[in-house]
Amino acid sequence: MNPEIKSYFPILNQEINGHPLVYLDSAATSQKPTPVIEALKEYYEFDNSNVHRGVHTLGNRATEKYEGAREKVQQFIKANSTQEIVFLRGTTTAINLVAQSYGRANVEEGDEIVITYMEHHSNIIPWQQLAKERGAVLKYIELEEDGTISLENVRAAITDRTKIVSMVYVSNVLGTMNPVKEVAKIAHEHGAVMMVDGAQAAPHLKIDVQDLDCDFFAFSGHKMVGPTGIGVLYGKKHLLEAMEPVEFGGEMIDFVGLYDSTWKELPWKFEGGTPIIAGAVGLAAAIDFLQDIGLDEIEKHEHHMAATAMDKMSKIEGLDIYGPTDPAKRAGIVTFNLKEVHPHDVATVLDMSGIAVRAGHHCAQPLMKWLDVTATARASFYLYNDESDIDRLVEGLRSAKEYFSDVF
Ligand code: 7TS
């Protein structure tokens, strides 16, 4: 990876607690490069207007940028049509939309919804709520000991009563990359639809929704060097077409009568209210930035970072690393605990040295239960991290060990 990439991220050029910042929390949210910040600035300085309504020049420019961003996303994930790209607030909103719209219409009493133990809360609670409402059964695919998913366990969980399978592509805790393409095939054999939580995948892997043959795919702009507040739901056209909106109001209507109304065509029927215009503009700039570097290059870099970090961290006595030991099976996420020290204390000591990691349950409490821990620390790497960041982390962890030497 080109060492100059870091210089595109102005936020990284600062000191925290007297030390140069090492940002290792990109799985929570990524930092933003100058071209994305500039695209937002330019939009607000020159083009800002509402979309799809004006005949004036700014309105047309804003509409062109907003719909242009949709085309960019369509190409980015290789969807068949822009009608399959719905702009929403993020992954959470996208999964909720599918649960509330597709789920309510298609899941009946006794039907099954299948997820895994490694889901983010955003891919658990919408299904819990749906299962409760419809009297359906929520089932969990068992994990292997190293935190991977075997197709044998997938086959054991999915039955002819299964209506929806929803699975994370890349785990935000274990970094595990799941075989979602193969799982989609099994789901389809049983007549179920496949939803992929791509929040941690879209920033790091080349996505081809047609090759995966998933029915729905959700991701968030802010984790892929884009702004907060914009996300995407991809859905196969025939499925989205049959689905009812869950948000009603301006923008999404065709005709409004006193007691009844009709909706716009896809994808606008799902985009009630003034859309996330600046967010979409920023997301388009983020996609350009990632594609200029190359998603293959980014993925390779992250495997390398994970492998190097795991190798160096495993030499620290008393440090447990969770998830697959084979770095080829994981993205750039390393979750760990330092013996009996609470991960919040580890993260606080690292912050004293300018190193930002996340500590807590990572919005994955069922996975914490499976791991038999209450919380962990997590270092997550992205394209702007390099080996010197790993060295700083390892050095910081050694200092933390000394700081809490009574435990060791
Ligand atoms: N799914 C996964 C796998 C995630 O990692 C996250 C956010 C979400 C869904 C939700 O995305 P949102 O953009 O709608 O919030 N993950 C994390 C994390 O790991 N730390 O902070 C947020």
| CATH value at residue 106 | 3.40.640.10
Indicate the residue among 251, 275, 291 that finishes a domain.
Answer: 291
Ligand 1 mean position, distance from CA 402 (Å)? 32
What's the start-to-end Cα distance of the chain, in Å? 37
Q: Are residues 46 and 121 in the same domain?
A: yes
Write down the pLDDT at residue 407.
77
- Is residue 30 a part of any domain in this protein? no
pLDDT value at residue 145: 94
| Ligand 1 atom having least distance to the Cα of 223 | 13
Q: Which of the listed residues 264, 291, 318 is the one where a domain comes to its end?
A: 291
Q: Is the pLDDT of residue 1 over 80?
A: no
Indicate whether 384 and 256 sit together in one domain. Answer: no
Q: Is residue 32 part of a domain?
A: no
Question: Does residue 160 sit within a domain?
Answer: yes
Q: Which atom of ligand 1 is nearest to the CA of 89?
A: 14
406: pLDDT confidence band, cut at 50, 70 and 90? confident
- Structural domain including 274 reads 37-291
| Residue 337 dihedral angles phi and psi, to the nearest 5° | -135, 145
- Does any ligand 1 atom lie closer than 6 A to the CB of residue 378? no
- 103 and 123 in a single domain? The answer is yes
Q: Is residue 121 domain-shared with residue 195, that is, in the same domain?
A: yes
Determine whether the shortest distance from the Cβ of 321 to ligand 1 is under 6 A.
Answer: no
Catalytic residue set: 363
Q: Which atom of ligand 1 is nearest to the CA of 170?
A: 3
119 lines ligand 1 (CB under 6 A): no
Backbone angles phi, psi at 167, to 5 degrees: -145, 145
- 331 and 248 share a domain? no
Closest to 380 measured CA to CA, from 355, 403, 397:
355
Residue 340 pLDDT class (50, 70, 90 cuts): confident
Which residues on adjacent β-strands are paired with residue 217?
Answer: 196, 234
pLDDT at residue 24 in the model: 98
Check residue 357 and give its pLDDT.
Answer: 98
Q: Is 120 in the pocket of ligand 1 (CB under 6 A)?
A: yes
Domain boundary among 257, 291, 325: 291
Bridge partners, 197 (sequence order) = 168, 218
Q: What is the pLDDT of residues 102-132, one digit of tens each?
A: 999 999 999 999 999 999 999 999 999 999 9
Number of domains in the chain: 2
Tell me how far the alpha carbon of residue 254 lies from the centroid of ligand 1, in angstroms. 34
Q: Are residues 187 and 96 in the same domain?
A: yes
- Pair (299, 287) in one structural domain: no
For ligand 1, the distance from its centroid to the CA atom of residue 28, given in whole angstroms, is: 6
Residues 66 and 205 in one domain: yes
pLDDT per position as a tens digit, 52-75: 977 899 999 999 999 999 999 999
Per-residue model confidence as pLDDT tens digits over 41-52: 999 999 999 999
pLDDT of residue 383: 97
Amino acid 207: pLDDT: 98
